[in-house]
């Protein structure tokens, strides 16, 4: 867990920065400006230093002036060692995330393989049913063709054959 502490340090502020950046002739006009004696002089703004410690290795110092914009000076650590420290700190989480992603990808692959195999099985079962129907049809056709009545009907109808009368029959003997 991270713990953080903050310190606040006050120090005396001698001159305003705008007065330091002015030319000497401008400073004299600023300093010689009449001061109203009826009102007490406002106390100059005092900058503060605030040090924030996030953990034992990471800390930053802020130089804060109440009347001006904040000036932040950070202690910047090198990026790669910081990233490596974070990775090592949360290595278990990264391993779990990698395992979840890997298992998810395997599950997607497994579902796709199952769908492919199911489609193939359905095609084979359909082909098997069609072959079974064709086999039954061929058996029925063979049975129909082997019947004597069917043969007589075809000979009479297609070949116009008739059964001869007994007087017209001729016997041939083979000796």
Asked if residue 58 is part of any domain, the answer here is: yes
CB 161 within 8 A of CB 155: yes
Query: 81 by DSSP, 3-state: which?
Result: helix
pTM: 0.38
Which residue segment(s) compose the domain that 133 sits in? 89-158
Asked if residue 66 is part of any domain, the answer here is: yes
Rg (CA), the chain: 53
Indicate whether 106 and 145 sit together in one domain.
yes
Asked if residue 172 is part of any domain, the answer here is: no
Q: How far apart are CA 140 and CA 147, in angstroms?
A: 11
The pLDDT tens digits for 110-161 are 999 999 999 999 999 999 999 999 999 999 888 877 777 777 888 888 888 8
Asked if residue 21 is part of any domain, the answer here is: yes
Indicate whether 72 and 129 sit together in one domain.
no
In the chain, how many domains are there?
A: 2
**34 CB burial (10 A radius; 0-12, 13-18, 19+):** exposed
Indicate whether 62 and 102 sit together in one domain.
no
The pLDDT tens digits for 60-92 are 555 555 555 555 556 677 889 888 999 899 999
């Amino acid at each position: 867990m991270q713990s953080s502490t903050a310190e606040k340090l006050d120090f005396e502020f001698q001159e305003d920065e705008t007065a330091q950046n002015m030319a000497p002739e401008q400073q004299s006009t600023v300093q010689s400006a009449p001061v109203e004696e009826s009102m007490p002089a406002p106390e100059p703004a005092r900058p503060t230093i605030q040090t924030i410690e996030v953990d034992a290795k990471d800390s930053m110092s802020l130089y804060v002036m109440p009347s001006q914009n904040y000036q932040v000076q950070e202690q910047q650590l090198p990026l790669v060692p910081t990233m490596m420290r974070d990775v090592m700190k949360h290595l278990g989480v990264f391993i779990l995330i990698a395992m979840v992603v890997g298992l998810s990808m395997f599950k997607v692959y497994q579902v796709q393989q199952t769908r492919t195999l199911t489609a193939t099985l359905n095609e084979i079962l359909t082909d098997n049913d069609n072959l079974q129907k064709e086999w039954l049809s061929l058996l029925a056709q063979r049975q129909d063709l082997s019947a004597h009545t069917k043969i007589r009907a075809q000979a009479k109808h297609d070949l116009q054959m008739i059964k001869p009368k007994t007087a017209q029959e001729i016997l041939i003997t083979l000796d």
